[in-house]
């Protein structure tokens, strides 16, 4: 596996693939890799001749400096996992490589970025679209793979790629979970043992919502069931619960008659050490 630290190194690697007529799949990550990321690599591996990964803890998508500082960094292990999973190349740039001196260009979805998770994390999705647009331009893949766990993120990236006419496909990969249902996340490593034991409440709450969602059930009743399930777990502090139309991301209302995307987020732990976890489920009547 080629390890590239600069834009020009990864570009010349991809140019070799292209010269040989090979297709390229891209998997962007912030490192601290786990089986969720490996599912993205496997999906890209199955569809393309070459797989390029990126590891970049993107400073512009973090609101709090403490959160950026605390983000786990496990580069040697990440490289070994990517190699094992069959990636052909990985770009691991310094921030100054992606955001050159004097940088001032941003990419933003104006409506989608301000809703739901974007309301509680101002600037987060602007950071995501700004870095992903740059990575798309740097690598120039045929398709890029993102986890459905980050439900609003994938919608934002799809919209951005479509609006800016990026000549690539954005593909979603189903959420990989631990046996107890907790969605795998690099943030899980920061949970105390007690909070780790409590965290599967998010998936339980989504399942409870799905269980009461019969055709015609009021959306508000589905939401209430989810809230009550989270409230049964004293270690979880519900931060956001949004039931949305999967196409527009506008709030779903009235009776359950068309597919609904459910996004949930909760904090576990106290103070600066509190860990924000998110989960998601799409339900259809
Ligand atoms: P991150 O490193 O957290 O920025 O995630 C990089 C990519 O991996 C994103 O597209 C995520 O949606 C995806 N991802 C993270 N966790 C999971 C998971 N448990 N299952 C599937 N994809 C995931």
Is 146 a pocket residue for ligand 1 (Cβ < 6 Å)?
A: yes
Contact by Cβ (8 Å): 169, 26: no
Tell whether residue 147 is among the known ligand binding residues: yes
Class of domain 2-173: alpha beta
The pLDDT of residue 120? 85
- CATH architecture, domain 186-279: 2-Layer Sandwich (3.30)
Give the Cα separation of 185 and 200 in Å (integer).
12
The pLDDT of residue 227? 98
Burial of 115 (0-12, 13-18, 19+ CB in 10 A): buried
Give the distance (Å) from ligand 1 centre to CA of residue 111: 23
* Ligand 1 atom nearest residue 31's Cα: 2
Whether residue 71 is predicted with pLDDT greater than 90 in this model: the reply is no
Q: What are the tens digits of pLDDT across the range 144-200?
A: 999 999 999 999 999 999 999 999 999 999 999 999 999 999 899 989 999 999 999
Q: Dihedral sign, CA of 221, 266, 37, 5?
A: positive
Model confidence pTM above 0.75: yes
The pLDDT of residue 66? 82
Give the distance (Å) from ligand 1 centre to CA of residue 219: 28
User: Domain spans of the chain?
Assistant: 2-173, 186-279
Torsion, CA 93, CA 157, CA 128, CA 141, rounded to 10 = 10
């Amino acid at each position: 596996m080629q390890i590239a630290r600069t834009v020009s190194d990864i570009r010349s690697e991809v140019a070799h693939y292209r010269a040989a007529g090979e297709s390229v799949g891209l998997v962007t990550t912030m490192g601290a890799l786990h089986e969720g990321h490996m599912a993205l690599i496997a999906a890209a591996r199955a569809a393309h001749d070459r797989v390029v990964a990126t590891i970049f803890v993107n400073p512009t998508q973090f609101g709090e400096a403490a959160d950026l500082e605390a983000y786990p960094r496990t580069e040697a292990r990440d490289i070994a996992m990517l190699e094992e999973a069959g990636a052909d190349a990985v770009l691991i740039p310094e921030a100054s490589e992606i955001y050159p001196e004097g940088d001032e260009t941003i990419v933003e979805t104006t409506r989608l970025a301000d809703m739901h998770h974007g309301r509680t994390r101002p600037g987060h999705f602007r950071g995501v679209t700004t870095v992903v647009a740059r990575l798309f331009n740097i690598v120039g893949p045929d398709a890029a793979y993102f986890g459905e766990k980050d439900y609003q993120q994938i919608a934002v990236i799809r919209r951005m790629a479509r609006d800016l006419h990026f000549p690539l496909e954005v593909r979603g990969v189903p959420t990989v979970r631990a046996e107890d249902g907790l969605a795998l996340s690099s943030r899980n490593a920061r949970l105390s043992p007690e909070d780790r034991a409590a965290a599967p409440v998010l998936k339980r709450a989504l399942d409870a919502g799905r269980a009461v969602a019969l055709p015609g059930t009021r959306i508000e009743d589905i939401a209430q069931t989810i809230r009550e399930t989270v409230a049964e777990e004293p270690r979880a502090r519900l931060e956001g619960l949004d039931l949305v139309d999967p196409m527009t991301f506008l709030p779903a209302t009235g009776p359950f008659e068309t597919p609904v995307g459910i996004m949930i987020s909760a904090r576990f732990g106290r103070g600066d050490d509190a860990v924000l976890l998110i989960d998601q489920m799409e339900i259809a009547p």
